[in-house]
Amino acid sequence: MKVLVTGGTGFIGSRLVGALVEAGHAVRVLRRANSSLIGLEGKRVEHCIGDILDAGAVAQAVEGVDLVFHVAALSSYWRARRAEVYRVNVDGTRTVMEACLRLRVPRVVHTSSVAAIGLAPDGRWANEETPFDRLSATFAYADSKHRAELEVQRAVARGLQAVIVNPAVVMGAGDHNLVSGSMVIQFARRPILAVPPGGICVADVDAVVQGHLAAAERGRVGERYILGGENLSYWQVGHIIAEVVGRPAPRWIIPRWVLGPAAAAVDLFNRLSRRPPVVNGEQLRLSAHNFFFDSSKAIRELGYSPLPFRLAVEKAYRWYREHGYLA
């Protein structure tokens, strides 16, 4: 089978490319000319140079394929301007879906995020039916991924055979862009003594890749599937990472009342600074909440098998050591 992967040089995308090549598929990658090729080292793939915002390049990449995995997105949102996040995640998704419709691609898997689902009320775990909440709508990345899903659903209504997957915070080997993996590097380089009061759903990248493949094979058209793992507090996350990298565990939980003023100060600094942000106010505000998710639908319908968070951290730490990130 001939498969296109947009975002195939990124973390999830490159791991997905590896799995597809290993399974014997002919893989084409749509990437920008300046994309890092670290994740594709040793993999025989066809390279199509272009941007998901370029309709011509997208059409050329989509031509003749049997399956499209649309993984490309601006995930490191704190390093980009708000308008760029929407442009890449929403407009780019619309461009890809239009090309898939026009060229009659038999099957599409769109990589969304649990951020597009948002917070469940009353502290419950969110699932695929959870209404998108007001707080998440203020978060540019979450709102952009939610709007991107609407573009996919519009294409489905016009006949596109598309399925949506919603990975949680993904950890594991190969995150060379330092999105979620930056937590491992931060803990490895110096003790982190305090963590936020909230929590997150964390998933192993290898489980997420298998979830993508299962969605392509068995996912129901128009449905979304959460690809999560363990729901952990930042306190638990910090203690697991610290133990793996051999650093002291966090000692304190940051009080919730501190996060608002700290977020405002960070936002002001980022507006005045000419350097790309290391963190933004949205991250700090949201870290007070528990973003917990239920993967039971993917487990039931796709045969999705979550993996332990500790295993993902161990694989990430080993990969960063082997590739000189901790020198």
DSSP string, 71-96: ------GGGS-HHHHHIIIIIHHHHH
Residue 27 has pLDDT above 60, yes or no: yes
Residue with more model confidence, 132 or 123? 132
Does 154 fall in a domain? yes
- Angstrom CA distances, 291 to 56, 171, 258, 300, stand at 38, 16, 19, 22
Does 281 fall in a domain? no
Is residue 278 a contact partner of residue 110, using CB atoms and an 8 Å limit?
no
Tell me the sheet residues that pair with 233.
199
Q: What gap in Å lies between CA 4 and CA 114, rounded to an integer?
A: 23
Looking at the structure of the chain, the number of domains it has is 1
Q: What gap in Å lies between CA 161 and CA 106, rounded to an integer?
A: 6
Per-state percent for the chain, helix, strand, coil, to nearest 5:
45, 15, 35
Residue 143 has pLDDT above 90, yes or no: yes
Q: Is 304 helix (H, G, I), strand (E, B) or coil?
A: coil
Does 16 fall in a domain? yes
pLDDT above 90 coverage of the chain, percent: 77
Catalytic residue among 77, 86, 141, 317: 141
Residue with more model confidence, 85 or 269? 85
The CATH number assigned to the domain holding 80 equals 3.40.50.720
Provide the b/e sequence for 262-274 (b: ≥16 CB within 10 Å): bbeebbeebeeee
| Mean pLDDT score of the chain | 92
Does 159 fall in a domain? yes
Does 262 fall in a domain? no
The reply to whether 141 belongs to the active site is yes
Its pTM stands at: 0.94
User: How high is the pLDDT of residue 263?
Assistant: 72
| Stretch (H or E) spanning 49 | strand 46-49
- pLDDT band at 63, cuts 50/70/90? very high
Q: Which residue has the tokens 């003790």?
A: 191
- pLDDT band at 277, cuts 50/70/90? low
Residue with more model confidence, 60 or 271? 60
Q: What gap in Å lies between CA 206 and CA 12, rounded to an integer?
A: 9
Nearest by Cα to 90 from 146, 6, 31: 146
Average pLDDT over residues 102-108: 98
Does 184 fall in a domain? no
Instruction: Determine the structural domain holding residue 82 and report its residue range.
Output: 2-172+202-230+291-308
Residue 304 has pLDDT above 90, yes or no: yes
Is residue 287 a contact partner of residue 277, using CB atoms and an 8 Å limit?
no
Indicate the Cα dihedral angle 64, 66, 70, 72, nearest 10°. Answer: -50
- pLDDT band at 285, cuts 50/70/90? confident
C-alpha atoms less than 13 angstroms from C-alpha of 8 in its C-beta half-sphere: 30
At 68-104, the pLDDT tens digits run 999 999 876 555 577 889 999 999 999 999 999 999 9
User: How high is the pLDDT of residue 321?
Assistant: 95
User: How high is the pLDDT of residue 215?
Assistant: 98
Highest average pLDDT, of 71-80, 130-139, 198-207, comes from 198-207
Residues contacting residue 265 through CB under 8 Å, at least 6 positions apart: none
Does 278 fall in a domain? no
Average pLDDT over residues 284-311: 94
Structure tokens at 68: 């499209």
- Angstrom CA distances, 93 to 54, 98, 295, stand at 11, 9, 24
User: How high is the pLDDT of residue 264?
Assistant: 77
User: How high is the pLDDT of residue 327?
Assistant: 75
Is residue 111 a contact partner of residue 69, using CB atoms and an 8 Å limit?
yes
Does 164 fall in a domain? yes
Average pLDDT over residues 270-285: 68
Mark residue 183 as left, alpha or beta (left: phi above 0; alpha: psi -120 to 50; beta: remaining). Answer: alpha
User: How high is the pLDDT of residue 82?
Assistant: 79
Indicate the Cα dihedral angle 133, 136, 142, 145, nearest 10°. Answer: 20
